[in-house]
Chain A
Amino acid sequence: MNEEAQITEGTPETGTQEESVPKKEEQEEKAEKRPAVRVRIRRGGAAGDPEERFDAFQVETGPRMTVLDALVAVQSAQEPTLSFRYSCRVGMCGTCALKVNGRPAWACRTRLEGLGDEITLEPLTNFPVLSDLAVDMSPFFEKMKRARGWLEPTGAAEKAPALIAPNSRERKRIEPHIECITCGICYASCSIVGHDSDYLGPAALNRAYTLVNDSRDALGPERLLEVCTEDGAWRCHSQYNCTESCPKGISPTGAIKGLKRRAVSGGVRRFAASIFRGRAPGA
């Protein structure tokens, strides 16, 4: 039995707020183009409700309507028990991530336009499902902790504030990786996380990369060694799924490659130094 076979139709719903006075031709165009979409939502799959199924709802669309708007419309008018998570609605908190037509995305920043007449919404891959579209993010944050994703201050800042010039090499290295809002999209898109549940994953390694490059951080090489392990940076296979899917345009793959480069160049330097001093490498 295919779980997709069990589809229950929700009642058609007119829950969209139109703009106050839309232009006439605009309105006509809209009415022709996208009157309603069919939203298929994966339900169940959690311990309390193990039966996985897809429920389908008709949702009337409006201009600039997002996937999150559609979910709110379904929940308020058709299916009050539908579970999903959101907070800011403007792409700042990272709590609304789910899978839209098979690819992870933020519900609040994904417009219905261009998604087709039938939209499939599923909970994020690689996370345990709590209920419907809401997943348990704890494995993701556990790994953030394992990668020690926080600054360990050197203590120098107590004397004087650290100055990192905007055009310094350090700042330029960190800059493209700093805007992560821990939405878990990269983690959900990573096939290596799916394969190795101990793998730190793109976001934690991306965070580690920013800290390894940060002169205010006291852990330095220790941090590098902790994340460049079999279940850390070396596990990455350069598939670029995280880079392709990150809504913030971050490249965790690039960060992981940066960690690998640092680890290798540090090792080569130590090796060269040990030869220079006439000692066995690693001694």
Chain B
Amino acid sequence: MTSVKDPVTNKPPVWKISAWRSMYPGMWSWVLQRLSALALIVLFPIHVMNPYIDSVRITMLLLVVWHAMHGIKVILTDFGFPDRHQRKLLWVLCVVGVAAFFWLAFMHKEYWRFMA
């Protein structure tokens, strides 16, 4: 293989680290939201079959909150949230998401057997 780039359209291949290093925050937000969706698709049937696997539950909680935060970002900007603040909105929602995750996890600690 002499060339890894498409000679016609000159696309950088995603398997090269340099392509990922130059990604902007909004793109990371999108990629991670997609990945969280894929992970949830895998975890959800496991959770339905056995709802008491703590590791699955806590991972799902984290993923659901993460996925929701980025969904909220898209909804807000779709309905006219000013674009010049989209990066700030992303960071704020990340902080809100982490806080929501811990709040939800600790508010219901009676459900977590590993904390009992």
Contacts and interface: CB of A to CB of B under 8 A. Distances in A.
Interface of A: 1-3, 45-47, 50-52, 101-103, 120, 123-129, 135, 189, 191, 194, 197, 237-241, 243-245, 249, 251, 253-254, 257, 260-261
A125 B83 CA distance: 24
Given A102-B21, A194-B9, A238-B30, A251 B3 contact: no
A109 B53 CA distance: 55
Contacts of B7: 45-47, 50, 129
A52 B3 CA distance: 7
Given A1-B2, A240-B86, A244-B24, 17 more contacts: A47-B7, A52-B3, A102-B21, A103-B22, A120-B18, A124-B10, A126-B9, A127-B9, A128-B8, A238-B74, A239-B24, A240-B26, A240-B87, A241-B27, A251-B83, A253-B86, A257-B83
B9 A197 contact: yes
Nearest to A195: B11
Contacts of B87: 240, 244
Nearest 5 pairs between A and B by C-beta?
Answer: A240-B26, A102-B22, A254-B83, A251-B83, A244-B24
9 contacts: A1-B1, A3-B3, A47-B7, A101-B22, A102-B18, A102-B22, A239-B26, A239-B29, A244-B87
Contacts of A245: 24
B98 to A, nearest CB: 21
Contacts, number: 95
Contacts of A47: 7
A124 B82 CA distance: 28
B80 A261 contact: yes
A51 B83 CA distance: 41
Contacts of A135: 10
